[in-house]
Amino acid sequence: MKEIFFLSGLPRAGNTLFGSIMNQNPDVGVSANSICADMMGELFTLKHTDIFKNYPDHKSFDNVAKKVFENYYKDWNYKYIIDRAPWGYPINLKFLKETRSNIKIIVLVRDIVEVLGSFIRWSQKEPTSFVNQYDAKTIEEKCDMLMNKDGVIVKELIAIKHLLEHQPKELYHLLEYNNLVEHPRKTIDGVYEFLGIPKFKHHFTNLDQFKVNGMEYD
């Protein structure tokens, strides 16, 4: 039976780099941005419908909700799955706690100024970057757009704050971007220790593009 772990963290904080390294291990599959959190959210909204309230069959509902990850990753041939989504966000974490035990979340963090700088540099190199798809023209306008309250940066900041202030330390493991870049072996070993799974001899130069379960980014 597969073990399911979770990855949350700021954008431009090494998500793809982390996945490219961990996916060298044939027993580990780190997902790209996952839709599982959204699926869980859609599923739990059904509990607020008149149909469910009229016939609140919680046991049957739980039979489905508790198997979302197992069914989604049924054809992934790995012992350990690391699902990437904003799992520290309060409502997402609530879904996890209602359906799973032994939750472990890896949390990628990076200085926000560095995150914004990385986005800006990317937008300057890549004309098709989503940062260039809005009316924002100046660097300041682009940063304001990136930091809007409904954007992914703020959402992940809320998730990290919620974990740090309201959750036990055994639930999460902070992974600093600069540590991953400057001390990759020690940093990755720390992830294995947190997850409690056998370590693997990774290489940290000439990395392949992110790929998992035979798929790459489009």
pLDDT tens, residue by residue, 64-102? 999 999 999 999 999 999 999 999 999 999 999 999 999
pTM for this predicted structure: 0.93
Spatial contact of 46 and 61, defined as CB atoms under 8 Å apart: yes
pLDDT at 105 exceeding the cut of 90: yes
**Cα dihedral 70/172/32/187 (nearest 10):** -130
When mean pLDDT is compared across 15-29, 133-147, 178-192, the lowest value belongs to 133-147
The pLDDT of residue 35: 96
Lowest mean pLDDT among 7-16, 126-135, 157-166: 126-135
DSSP, collapsed to helix, strand or coil, labels residue 122 as helix
